[in-house]
């Protein structure tokens, strides 16, 4: 559900939606094509990027060139990123997973496009703290 709200004098978009249930991220990631250790990494990145919220929208202040980023894997639809997904329902977990797999493949089967995997500032990658949860989803 999409709501416009006025906060601090600025008109902002608010997406309301439930997080998906345990195991769903693993399921859509696997169906999209991720496998092996890359499946675990993909799941961990989804949680690091969106906290498991398929309606998450980030990078709004970077639009239109470098944002916004939408869905579980925060697919960036900005003009300088992946505008080919601008008209796609990236809040649909399966579609977002397919887009994430395509981005991963375009990057040479690398997760480098995600800042939670490669923070580019020398800090610890955020996805690492979600690997345990990813393992539980795959084995659960």
Residues 71-111: tens digit of each pLDDT: 999 999 999 999 999 999 999 999 999 999 999 999 999 99
Q: Is the predicted pLDDT of residue 31 greater than 90, yes or no?
A: yes
Is residue 31 included in any domain, yes or no?
yes
Report yes or no on 3 lying in a domain: no
Query: What CATH number does the domain containing 119 carry?
Result: 1.10.530.10
What is the per-residue pLDDT for 62?
87
Domain-located, residue 1: no
Residue at 73 is within a domain: yes
Residue 4 lies in a domain: no
**CA 7 – CA 11 distance, rounded (Å):** 6
Q: How many domains does the chain have?
A: 1
Query: Which residue from 108, 42, 119 is spatially nearest to 75, judged by alpha carbons?
Result: 42
User: CA neighbours within 13 Å on the CB side: how many for 38?
Assistant: 16
Name every residue whose Cβ is closer than 8 Å to that of residue 121 and which is 6 or more positions away in sequence: none
**N-terminal to C-terminal alpha carbon distance within the chain:** 30
- Residue by residue, DSSP assigns 19-66 as PPPTTHHHHHHHHHT--HHHHHHHHHHHHHHHTT-TT-EE-GGGTTTS
**Domain presence at residue 6:** no
Asked if residue 11 belongs to a domain, the reply is no
75, β-bridge pairs: 70
- pLDDT tier for residue 22 given thresholds of 50, 70 and 90: low
> 56 is in which domain, residue-wise?
18-139
Residue 12 lies in a domain: no
- Distances in whole angstroms, Cα of residue 23 to Cα of each of 71, 80, 93, 119: 16, 32, 12, 26
């Amino acid at each position: 559900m999409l709501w416009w709200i006025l906060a601090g004098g600025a008109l902002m978009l608010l997406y309301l939606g439930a997080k998906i249930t345990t195991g769903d991220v693993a399921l859509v990631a696997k169906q999209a094509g991720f496998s092996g250790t890359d499946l675990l990494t993909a799941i961990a990145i989804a949680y690091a990027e969106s906290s498991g919220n398929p309606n998450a929208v980030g990078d709004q202040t970077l639009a239109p060139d470098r944002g916004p980023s939408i869905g579980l894997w925060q697919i960036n639809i900005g003009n300088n990123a992946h505008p080919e997904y601008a008209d796609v329902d990236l809040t649909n977990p399966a579609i977002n997973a397919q887009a994430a797999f395509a981005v991963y493949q375009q990057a040479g089967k690398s997760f480098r496009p995600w800042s939670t995997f490669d923070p580019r500032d020398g800090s610890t990658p955020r996805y690492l703290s979600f690997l345990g949860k990813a393992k539980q989803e795959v084995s659960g």
